[in-house]
Amino acid sequence: MAAVAVVTLLLLLAVASVARGGVTSTYRRRLQALPDMPLDADVFRPPAGFNAPEQGGFRRYSYGRKYRSGFIYHATLTGLEHATKYHYAVGSGTTARAFSFTTPPKPGPDVPYKFGLIGDLGQTFHSNDTLTHYEASGADAVLFIGDLSYADNHPDHDNNRWDTWARFVERSVAYQPWIWTTGNHELDFAPELGETMPFKPFTNRYPTPFKASGSTRPLWYSVRMASAHVIVLASYAAYGKYTPQWTWLQGELKRVDRKVTPWLLVCVHSPWYNSNGYHYMEGESMRVEFERWLVDAKADVVLAGHVHSYERTHRVSNVAYDIANGMATPVFNRSAPVYINIGDGGNIEGLADNFRWPQPEYSAFREASFGHATLQIMNRTHAYYEWHRNSDGVKVVADHAWFTNRYWMPTDTN
């Protein structure tokens, strides 16, 4: 009997040693990728008249040998009040369509606000599930973590798929702010098609407020919304020492005022911490360049995509390594952010179900499923985070956590 007890104890210890890193969800759904929805799908149907999202009267562009965009109109509105609902119309006469949006509340330390978190969306049936689930969340704005249309997965980077994607997401984008991060699928760099200007379709279609934050390019910038200061970085633009992005971020972190916007959120595309075999360590050079800055700034959350699964970490850092000292293992750090990989929007390439074992200690929860997340800021000290998988009902929470603010309440939790 004693021998059985010893064997049982050893087995329990073995299991504990493997599982110490956190939870790898045992939930499994079908892993095969789905194709993009057909071009005649109802979510892609152009509206009547000359007022589809890719039409307008300001600019147009050509791509490759076959595609020329419709006229794309951009408008900058000034003099808007905070926390105010505005109504607007697109088109004229019988084909005019009415929309509305509500501006974010005035920045302040205890202003509540709810962000939706979506990455790597694409335009498959899974993508439609993700957007439908998000719409039921009641969030105020979306932090989109890169990889929009996946048009480059089609022959000749078929830019008609940029048009269909715009019509697909219009049901949300036309009504609330979406803050854009660029991913690798926005590069559209195709010398074989004569296209050597990176980000050409994206920058023609989706302007960002980069000039307002002193940035020199639309790929990296910041916005202040309610009690959050959101910094957007570009994983696929130069960020080495002395480059424009490096110089801008150095100055931007000094401009963050945690007494006005206590929550510091950072968006990248390629993850800095990722225990999936897919895209493993692709974000390492950016982490080495900027992680020390974010730890010193006491950033709260870093959001990433790129890996088509879900993962949330504990608060860890890996800033002690100097090549010679061998200190290359992430350690728990109450000044460090939580890292969330949310590249599970549902795109055409399918899920990344190749987690590395044993699960690292820094990894709190991970699962290969499609879904979205929300971050609900309550006040200057607390925010509530949820992740929802598409296969559940819209109100079912698959992962959740309370985050305490690194500036106002730097507890050892998370």
**Integer Cα distance of 312 and 319 in angstroms:** 20
Strand partners, 241: none
Which residue type occupies 183? G
- Mean pLDDT value across residues 304-329: 93
What does the pLDDT read at residue 51? 57
**Residue scoring higher pLDDT (101 or 91):** 101
Instruction: Tell me the Ramachandran region of residue 344: left when phi exceeds 0, alpha when psi lies from -120 to 50, beta otherwise.
Output: alpha
What does the pLDDT read at residue 25? 80
409, pLDDT greater than 80: yes
* Contact criterion met (CB below 8 Å) for 194 and 188: no
- Residues 317-373 have pLDDT tens digits of 999 988 888 888 999 999 999 999 999 999 999 999 999 999 999 999 999 999 999
Q: Between β-strands 371-377 and 382-389, what pairing exists: parallel, antiparallel or unpaired?
A: antiparallel
- Residues 194-209 have pLDDT tens digits of 999 999 999 999 999 9
Q: What DSSP string runs through 76-144?
A: ---SPPTT-EEEEEES-GGG-EEEEEEPPPPP-TT--EEEEEE-S--SBHHHHHHHHHHHTS--SEEEE
- Residues 132-141 have pLDDT tens digits of 999 999 999 9
**Integer Cα distance of 172 and 162 in angstroms:** 16
- Mean pLDDT value across residues 42-54: 67
Provide the pLDDT confidence category of residue 56 given band limits of 50, 70 and 90.
very low
Q: How many CA atoms lie within 13 A of 195 on its CB side?
A: 22
Q: Name the residues annotated as catalytic.
A: 279
Give the domain ranges of the chain: 109-404
36 SS3 class: strand
**H-state helical runs in 256-372:** 284-296
Fold classification of 109-404 is: Purple Acid Phosphatase; chain A, domain 2 (3.60.21)
Strand partners, 317: 331
CA torsion sign, 340 to 249 to 115 to 74? negative
- Mean pLDDT value across residues 161-186: 98
